[in-house]
Structures are given as C-alpha cells and as structure tokens.
Chain A
C-alpha cells in the first residue's frame, strides 16, 4: 500500500468498497448535489462538479482512511471544485439577482422578532439551548439542520454557505457576488436570525419537552 499514513486505519481495497455501497453513495451524491446547487445555480455545472469530486475521490481513494471520514473528505474535494467554479465563472447567478423567497425575511422578519422599541418580542426571545453534545451528532439533527438551510431564501442560503461552509472571506464573497460589504453583513445577519429560529423551534426546544 502506498501513501502509508499513520492515520490510515483501513487499506485502500476496503476503502474502495465505499463505492460499492450503492445506497450510501446515492445518498451522499444527493447531499453533495444539494450543496453544490445552492452555490452554483446552474444545475449542469453543479452536477459536473459533483461528478468530478466523486471521480477524483475514487481515483485518490488510497489517500483517505475510514468511511466515517469519507464524507468530510469528498465534501472537501467538492468545496474546492465549487470555489474554483465560482472564481472562474465569477457568479453565474449573482446573489443580488436571487429572490428572497417565501416565508418571512428581510424587514418583515425583523418586525416579527422585535418590538417597535427594538427589544425582543416576548415569545421570540432566544431560549437557552441544551448543550449540543447529546444530540447534534445524530442523523436526525442534521436532517433538521438541512431543512432549516433549505428554508432560507436562496440568497441568504447561498451567502451563508459561502461564508460558513466554504469559508470564503468577505472581500471574495463581495467580489464574486457583486454585493457591498454592508449588504453582505446584513444578509448574513438575517440568515442567522432565520436559521437560529428554525433550529430552536424544531430541535432545541423540542428536545426539552
């Protein structure tokens, strides 16, 4: 086995078996595609990025170890592909062109959450979240997290994911998306407000009862 690495706990032939698990691969592909489509609005480009990431993972399978880490690894390949794409294309659909989408967003959301005097509406005050340790590792939590992300208006989701998942910095996002720094900051604020509320309503509060 080449590329011997101390962290390798599984030989590459076993790793290749990951690709034989059709259910796992299909599920992973779906997640990757969803992730890619949020970033790259062109479906074909998104598909292509996922294909390439999968293929590149397959070719370099001996570089990685355990199946538990497989997703991380494939996603990191995909992330780089998307960042490349975004840089190359310099926005296929600039965030500024995206709809804010249904549900409360923008000012309406702010009005819903805060009183006129700028304080929290009584019912909307953030509650204490339980220590996430007990729950966030499980599939169910991530399904809710996904649903909350999906529920974000397209523009929010895209900028939020660029910042938090692709870990792009402010100048780069602003350049790619043709948005001003202050507009980016406000959008991220609103995205986090929405996401926070969604997670609290569907996970952190439910857990308590």
Chain B
C-alpha cells in the first residue's frame, strides 16, 4: 500500500508521464480511501489549468 508521500508524487507525475498499470492501481486504491490526496489530485489539475490561463486571464484594468 502506498503512502501519501508516494501518492502525491504520482499525482504530480501523472501530468508529466503515463503511469504504469501498477502505479495506476496503487494510486486508485490510495485515493479511494484518502481524502487529502484526492483533493491534492484535483488541485494539481487546477494548477495546470490556472497556469494555462496565466497569460490569458491577465486583463488590463477595466476602466
């Protein structure tokens, strides 16, 4: 059973590479029972979306 430390790293690496089948299963089993890591996974995706809109959302001040 993997711990939060490994799970969070996998949740980050998921954005950079394809996880192996074994990693996927381990991760799914972990996040099924771990709310903080589930949050963490969602937040990783939020951070990616935010970064994508970084240069887009910055509007000049509305006048």
Q: Which residues on A are within 8 Å of B, measured CB to CB?
A: 21, 24, 27-28, 31, 67-68, 70-72, 75-76, 79, 110, 114, 117-120, 125-129, 132, 136-137, 139, 142, 145, 160, 163-165, 170, 181, 184-186, 188-189, 192-193, 195-196, 199-200
- In the complex, what distance in Å separates the CA atom of A164 from the CA atom of B48? 7
A120 near B47 with CB under 8 A, answer: no
Q: Which residues on B are within 8 Å of A, measured CB to CB?
A: 3-6, 8-9, 12-13, 15-17, 36-37, 39-40, 42-44, 46-48, 50-61
- In the complex, what distance in Å separates the CA atom of A28 from the CA atom of B58? 9
Chain A residue contacts of B44, Cβ below 8 A: 192, 196
> Do A132 and B46 form a contact, CB below 8 Å, given A164-B52, A170-B17, A189-B12?
yes
B5 near A75 with CB under 8 A, answer: no
Chain B residue contacts of A199, Cβ below 8 A: 47
- In the complex, what distance in Å separates the CA atom of A119 from the CA atom of B59? 40
Chain B residue contacts of A170, Cβ below 8 A: 16-17
A119 near B3 with CB under 8 A, answer: yes
> Do A193 and B8 form a contact, CB below 8 Å, given A170-B17, A199-B47?
yes
B60 near A125 with CB under 8 A, answer: no
B16 near A118 with CB under 8 A, answer: no
In the complex, given contacts A118-B6, A196-B43, what are 16 additional A-B residue pairs having Cβ atoms less than 8 angstroms apart? Answer: A24-B60, A68-B59, A70-B60, A71-B58, A75-B55, A118-B3, A120-B36, A136-B53, A142-B58, A185-B16, A188-B16, A192-B12, A192-B47, A193-B12, A196-B40, A199-B47
- Closest Cβ of chain A to B8, distance in Å, is 7
